[in-house]
Structure 1
Amino acid sequence: MSDNNVNENTETMADALKSVTTVKIGDTVKADVLAVEDKQLIVGIEGTGVEGVVPIKELSTQPIDDIHDVAKVGDKLDLVVLSTVGKDKENGQFLLSKRRLEAQKVWKEIQAKYEAGETITAPVTSVVKGGLVVNAGVRGFVPASMVEDHFVEDLSQYKGKELEFKIIEIEPSENRLILSHRAIVEASKAEARKEIFAKIQPGDTVEGKVARLTNFGAFVDLGGVDGLVHVSEISFDHVDKPSDVLKVGQEIKVKVLNVDPDRNRISLSIKATLPQPWDDIEEKAPAGSVLTGTVKRLTTFGAFVEVFPGVEGLVHISQISHEHVATPADVLKEGQEVQVKVLSVDPDAHRLALSIKALQERPAGSEEESHEGGNSSRDNSDRGDRRRSSRPRRGNDRHQSTSIPAEYQQDDSGFSLGDILGDALKDVAKGNDDQDDNK
């Protein structure tokens, strides 16, 4: 071999060695797919003459079921060098990743959106202790307190859902991304709240959807703003728990009771949209009819009995029994079911005069006043009042009027003084007349 050929070969080998790029950890390289295996790719790094492997988990930020769906022999890939595989560098075994390279781009995009105040949309991939994990191209975390604007007991309902998030904190070097869906909900409701509070008025009847239930009532979504139906406003019937009669997602009609923009509160009522209890009461409970009711309240002067949901009537103490009754609590108890006879009906005043003893057989030999309690005692007392008013006032008249217990004078039951005192008021009037006749 001539010296010239030797020199040319030497120069060719030197040029080839110069063209080989040294591979360092952290470099971004191009590589050709040489082989596709079940769990990894074998690639040749361009310009180096060495090979590397790409595990399936390092191929994409998205889950991969079949590696053949994302790569085939001959594909060219942009990869980042993670580390060496073993100690045999001459064989060029390097660990590379396509996923990490994609993640770097995602972090830059998320950083840009964070600085611009923009939001991102991503699916919830799993529920962990303390919150939700989302796939935003990189792993994001949503603390439980940032999921909604109210406490959520079961977070599993969000798995698989795609939600909009506000970026709260971002730190790519630590793979830290904190997101909030609550901020999105609050912003949306704030805008809807302005519109709703601008047009809704007390007395309006609107439609809504039950958003959530508590022990004290139901929150109803009116289109971005929740109003509260207190448990007492759900029905004229007694309701122990709202969940007994309502379901989340149920569409209902409600009446607006009160609007308080300063406190962002709207009070609603379901029962106000229902037929009123006292409607057609003269047909449902005509005088002389017999009804079955429940003792709701006991007072010193009688018992209030509910005969229809939201309709209570008074059984005066004189109408409880043919026998003498010292106090209603001696013979009745709250919650007791009783049969009553309707003595009189006053629809305008929402008053029913009832009697229990009218349905009982009068004991043989018993002596009773010719008058009855309830409204008749009211009539007698009214006549007694008229008789006293026609005579000159005497000193003992003032004494008699002030002898009526204060709690009777202040009663707010809706029944008159004559209804409440019954026979006792007649006795006062009769006593006054007897004193006047003896003088």
Structure 2
Amino acid sequence: MAAFVPGPLQAATPGSRASAFTGAAISAAPPPAAATATARRGAPTMVAAVGTPTKFDRMRQKWGAPAVDESKGDMYEEFATALEGISYNFAEGDIIPGVVQQLDPNGAMIDVGAKASAVCPTVEVSIAQGVNLEDVLTLGDQREFQIIRSENADGELMLSIRRIEYSRAWARVAQLAAEDVTISGTVASVNRGGGLVTVEGLRAFLPGSHISVRREQQEDLVGMELPLKLIQVDPAEKKLVVSHRLAAAASRMTTLETGSVVTGTVRSVKPYGAFVDIGGVSGLLHISQISHDHVKDIEAVLTPGMEVKAFVMNQEKDKGRISLSTKVLEAEPGDMMTDAAAVFAGADDAAAAYHARVEEERVAASSVADDIVSSLDIATLDDLGLGVDLDGAAPTGATEPAAAAAAE
């Protein structure tokens, strides 16, 4: 087996099989005197094991570079030495710029300005799944890439665009969660426990209890875009949980008006009242607001799954609370317990009558207040030391303390 060459590589001669860039056997003849003198002066030399291709051989063979002119061996040696002297300080995790130089089915060849080649595999070109390489990158594109693996045996850096998009997507959803905004997501799949939704390129879990659609209709949601609220964002644990119900509630809260009649479905009955689902919003129908008559057993009047009409008494939009009433819809006290269906059928008319009655009471109260004010004897107020001139002066005969109190 041939030995290592201690000096600079010799140029190939006709018929010689020596080649530092093809991996062929290198002549074991001693180097010429000039080369020896150069070596003695401390000039750097390239040493290669016989039959072992160098990094440059592998790069040239992989990317189809032209054969090396070995008659210029000293020039290539000096060029390689110059490259060795350049420090690029690349490390895994670094984000560096690069230019797309070549595309093939397995990935893209990227020029990052270093002696080492750099490759971005197809699976790393986008956070989206199942994309085509050509749909993301084109020749000459200038992009940012993250180093996910330092040089391998072939002298290649492994790059990724997906990792950059992934970290930025988490930062984005964290910001959206802090702002409590409603976002959009596409349903990827649904099962008995809930669904998977794509949000900002990330996979989020949508619990079944937070889907504002009846269970038998949930399979139809696949492929649909839903409004969502972010309820848990944890990049460290890679947990992203969203709610369709809260988003629907927020939307509904902006359209609900106090004093309006809404249609909903009784979801649950508690000792203190019933919870009614109003298009994704949960409203409380308190036991005291079911009927004018005393209600002993709520389930004797309202049952889960029952469709009802109710009057919106009050709503706290910041807390997502809605207070409902069927009592104000009764034509006669106790109608909810004797004929609830009739109460719901006449709900709109009853609500209109309620508003008219409230307005009459307001006008009557205002009229009484005006009559009281107009009947007051101003002279009597002056005698009591309570009168004040329009210009703020103290009334005649008023003491200084009384005048000061009146001015206050």
> What is the TM-score with the length of structure 2 in the denominator?
0.46
Report the structure, 1 or 2, having the larger strand content. 1
